[in-house]
Amino acid sequence: MTDPVETPAPEPTPFMFSVADATGRVIRTGIVPFEEWIARQALAGETAVSGTLDPATQYVADGAAANRPTNPATISGHALASLPVPCTIHIDSDAYPCSEVTAELSFPYAGTFAVRVEAWPYLDAAFEVTA
């Protein structure tokens, strides 16, 4: 007679998670051994969701993963329009807060400038302007 072979307990399946702050911005990601532990990863004012989110393109809205919306900003010549309010307009390495839906850009010298409109949770809008 042979001794029965004990089958080891299966390894837990790891569960990926992401944690977002109160604005929906992903602030950390990780892995837990049990799905029930995902909710425990959030501190006060944070939300934990299943899956690893890409902070560059995703955020947490109403407790669920979502794609960040396209920035509505447009440019014509040196005029920005349809700006999200509030936003920050970056011209090369300088940042300018903006609380208007339009902005007229001016430049101190001729050249080509990188212009970026940043407004959470929108994706950044990037333009190249020649002055």
Region of residue 45 (phi > 0: left; psi between -120 and 50: alpha; otherwise: beta): left
Q: Would residue 8 count as lying in a domain? A: no
Residue 11, number of CB atoms within 10 A of its CB: 7
Q: Does the CA dihedral 104-109-111-112 come out positive or negative? A: negative
pLDDT at position 8 over 90: no
Task: Tell whether 88 is covered by a domain.
Answer: yes
Residues 87, 125: one domain? yes
Residue 10 lies in a domain: no
What is the pLDDT confidence band of residue 2, given thresholds at 50, 70 and 90? low
Whether residue 111 lies inside any domain: the answer is yes
Higher pLDDT, 25 or 4: 25
The predicted structure's pLDDT at residue 72: 98
Model confidence over 22-44: pLDDT tens digits? 999 999 999 999 999 999 999 99
Query: Is residue 80 domain-shared with residue 126, that is, in the same domain?
Result: yes
Instruction: Establish if 4 belongs to a structural domain.
Output: no
- Distance CA(100)–CA(125), nearest Å, equals 16
**Same domain, residue pair 81 and 61:** no
pLDDT tens, position by position, 67-118: 999 999 999 999 999 999 999 999 999 999 999 999 999 999 999 999 999 9
Q: Count how many domains the chain has.
A: 2
Structural domain that includes position 46: 15-67
* The pLDDT value given to residue 58: 98
Selection from 45, 47, 104 nearest residue 76 by Cα: 104
- 28 in a structural domain: yes
- On whether both 81 and 124 belong to a single domain, the answer is yes
